[in-house]
Structure 1
Amino acid sequence: MTDLFHSNSETFCLNCGFMKSRLSRDDPPAFPHHLLTTNDPPSDLEVAQVQGILDTLHDHVSDLDASINDVGEILAKLRSRRKNTVDEIHRGRAILSVIRRLPGDVLGEIFSYTTPDESHRRVIDRSPWVLGRVCSQWRAISVSLSTLWSDVDSSLPLPVLMSQLERSKGCGLTIRLIYSETEALDPLIDCSTHWETVDIEMGVNMLPLLDRVYGKVPMLRHLKCRDSTGVGSCTSFQIAPNLSTVIINGKAMLRLPWMQLTRLRQRVPSIDDLTQLGSARNLVELSLTNTVSLSLSLARARELPEAVILELPLLRVLYIEDGEFLNFLLLPALENIYISKRPSSLAAFIDRSMCRLRKFTIIDPDVSTVIRVLDCASTVIELRLQLTTKHPGPFVSYLTVPSSFNADSRPPCPELRSLSLCTNVLDDHQSSQVVRMVESRLHSSACSSLSICRILDLENSKLVDYAYKTLDELRGGGIDAEWLPEKSARRRLIDWREEYV
Structure 2
Amino acid sequence: MAPKLLARSTECFDCGKDHPPRAPLIPSPFKSIITQKSMPTSSETASIHDFTAAIDAEILRREQAIDRLRCEVAVLHRLSDQHKSIIAPIRRVPSELMAEIFLHLTTIEASSANDTSSSSLANFFEKNDEVRPVLHRAPLIFGEVSRQWRTIALSTPTLWNSIFITCTNEKLRNYISLCDTWLKRSGSLPLSIRIHLAPSEAVPQHVTKDCQDLLRTILPYAQRWRLVDFVNVPDYSYHILHGCLPKSLPVLQALSVGHTLPADASCMFWAELRNAPKLRFLHHHNVGEEWLTFPWSQLTHIDLGNCSEYDCLRILSAASAAVDCTFSVERPSSFQHPPITHYSLKTLRISQSHADLHLRLTCPRLSTLAVSSACSRFSFHDLPSFIARSGPNIENFTLEGSTLTATQFMTCLAYMPKIRHLTISELGAAQFTDEVWKSLTCRPSFTPLVPDLESLQFLGGRDFHHEAVIRMLESRVQMPHGPASFVPKLKTVHLSFWPKIKKSVCRRLTAFRFFGLDIDVQTNVGSDDEGDSDDEEIDSEDEESNWDDEESDWDDSEVSDCGDDWDHEESDWEDES
TM value normalised by structure 2: 0.60
Contact between 1:417 and 1:450, CA under 8 Å: does it hold in 2?
A: yes
Partner of 1:327: 359
Counterpart of 1:165 in 2: which secondary structure? helix
Structure 1 residue 140 corresponds to structure 2 residue 151 = yes
Q: CA deviation at 1:247?
A: 0.3
Q: Secondary structure at the match of 1:412?
A: coil
- Quote how far apart the aligned CAs of 1:450 are: 2.0
The 1:400–1:156 alpha-carbon spacing in structure 2 relative to 1, beyond 3 Å, is same
Match of 1:128 in 2: 139
Asked if 2 retains the 8 angstrom alpha-carbon contact of 1:243 and 1:260, the reply is: yes
Query: Given that residues 479 and 515 in structure 2 are in contact (C-alpha distance below 8 angstroms), is that contact kept between their aligned partners in structure 1?
Result: no
Aligned to 1:498: none
Distance in 1 between residues matched to 2:494 and 2:523, nearest whole Å: 11
Partner amino acid, structure 1, of 2:413: L
Residue of structure 2 equivalent to 1:233: 268
What is the distance in 2 between the residues matched to 1:391 and 1:316? 27
Matched letter for residue 390 of structure 2:
S
Rounded Cα–Cα distance in structure 2 between residues aligned with 1:89 and 1:458: 68
- The one-letter amino acid paired with 2:438 is S
Conserved 8 A contact 1:381-1:418: yes
Q: State whether residues 506 and 521 of structure 2, in contact with CA within 8 Å, keep that contact through their aligned partners in structure 1.
A: no
From 264, 274, 283, give the equivalent of 1:247: 283
Mapping for residues 98-109 of structure 1, pairs under 5 Å: 102-109=93-100
Structure 1 residues 376, 394: closer, same or farther in 2, change over 3 A?
A: same
Match of 2:459 among 401, 406, 422: 422
Report the AA paired with residue 440 of structure 2: L
1:440 CA drift (Å)? 7.0
Output the aligned Cα RMSD: 5.2
Establish whether residue 212 from structure 1 lines up as the match of residue 247 from structure 2.
no
Match of 1:315 in 2: 345
Say if 2:326 and 2:349, in contact at 8 Å, map to a contact too: yes
Structure 2 Cα separation of the partners of residues 190 and 313 of structure 1: 40
Instruction: Say whether 1:474 aligns with 2:492.
Output: no
Which structure 2 residues correspond to residues 17-416 of structure 1 after superposition, within 5 A?
A: 102-113=93-104, 114=106, 116=110, 117=113, 121=132, 123-152=134-163, 160-176=178-194, 180-200=210-230, 201=233, 203-204=235-236, 206-207=238-239, 209-226=241-258, 227=260, 228-231=263-266, 233-234=268-269, 235-250=271-286, 254=291, 255-270=293-308, 273-274=311-312, 275-289=314-328, 291=329, 293-294=331-332, 297=333, 304-306=336-338, 309-322=339-352, 325=357, 327-341=359-373, 345-353=382-390, 355-365=392-402, 368=406, 369-387=408-426, 389=430, 393-402=434-443, 404-405=444-445, 410-416=447-453
Note if contact 2:442-2:472 (Cα within 8 Å) is conserved in structure 1. Answer: no
Match of 1:492 in 2: none
Counterpart CA distance in 1 for 2:161 and 2:503 is 50
1:439 maps to amino acid? V
Rate the CA distance shift 1:129–1:411 in 2: closer, same or farther, 3 A.
Answer: same
Distance, in Å, in 1 between the alignment partners of 2:87 and 2:439 is 66
SS for the counterpart of 2:282 is: strand
1:125 Cα offset (Å): 4.8
Q: Any conservation in 2 of the 1:451–1:478 contact (CA below 8 Å)? A: no
3-state SS in 1 of match to 2:477: helix
Q: Deviations over 1:274-322 (max 9, x none)?
A: 4244211211101111x2543xx47xx7xx452xx24322111111123
The answer to whether the 8 A contact 1:150-1:174 is kept is: yes
Structure 1 residue aligned with 2:520: 483
**Counterpart selection for 2:19 from 8, 15, 21:** 15
| CA shift in 2, pair 1:458/1:277, >3 Å | same
Alpha-carbon offset, residue 210 of structure 1: 4.1
- In 2, Cα distance between equivalents of 1:445 and 1:352: 38
Tell me how far 1:176 sits from its aligned partner: 4.8
Is the Cα–Cα contact under 8 Å of residues 340 and 364 in structure 1 kept in the other structure?
yes
SS in 2 for 1:213: coil
Closer/same/farther in 2, CA of residues 51 and 383 from structure 1, 3 Å limit: same
CA distance in 1, matches of 2:472, 2:21: 75
Deviation at 1:149, TM superposition (A): 0.9
Conservation of the 8 A alpha-carbon contact between 1:215 and 1:236: no
Higher mean C-alpha displacement, 204-213 vs 356-365 = 204-213
Give the aligned residue type for 1:347.
Answer: P
Deviates more, 1:367-376 or 1:239-248: 367-376
Query: How far 1:398 sits from its partner (Å)?
Result: 2.1
2:347 and 2:81 mapped to 1: Cα distance?
Answer: 54
The answer to which structure has the higher helix fraction is 1
Q: Percent identity?
A: 19
- The Cα shift of 1:401 comes to 0.8
Pick aligned residue for 1:452 from 491, 506, 514:
491
Is the Cα–Cα contact under 8 Å of residues 496 and 523 in structure 2 kept in the other structure? yes
Displacement after TM superposition at 1:327 (Å):
3.0
Structure 1: distance between partners of 2:384 and 2:498? 30
Which amino acid letter does the alignment assign opposite residue 170 of structure 1? S
The question of whether the paired residues in 2 share the 8 Å contact of 1:213 and 1:236 is answered with: no
**Does the 8 Å contact 1:441/1:449 carry over to 2?**
no
| Change beyond 3 A, Cα 1:384–1:437 | farther
Matched residue, 2:573: none
Q: 1:271 to 1:399 in 2, by over 3 A?
A: closer
Q: In the alignment, is the contact (CA less than 8 A) between 2:423 and 2:456 conserved in 1?
A: yes
Indicate how the Cα distance of structure 1 residues 414 and 133 shifts in structure 2: closer, same or farther if over 3 A, else same. same
Contact 1:210 1:236 in 2 (8 A): no
The DSSP-based 3-state class of the residue aligned with 2:235 is coil
User: Would the aligned equivalents of 1:415 and 1:447 in 2 still touch at CA under 8 Å?
Assistant: no
**For the residues of structure 1 that align with 2:472 and 2:348, how far apart are their CA atoms?**
29
TM superposition shift of 1:189: 2.1
Which residue of structure 2 lines up, in the alignment, with residue 42 of structure 1? none
Residue 206 of structure 1: how far off its partner (Å): 3.0
SS of the aligned residue for 2:452 comes to coil
SS at match of 1:383: strand
CA distance in 1, matches of 2:433, 2:92: 62
Partner in structure 2 of residue 490 of structure 1: none
CA 100–345 in structure 1, closer or farther in 2 if over 3 Å, else same: farther
SS of residue matched to 1:189: helix
The residue type paired with residue 139 of structure 2 is P
Contact 1:11–1:19 (CA under 8 A) maintained in structure 2: no
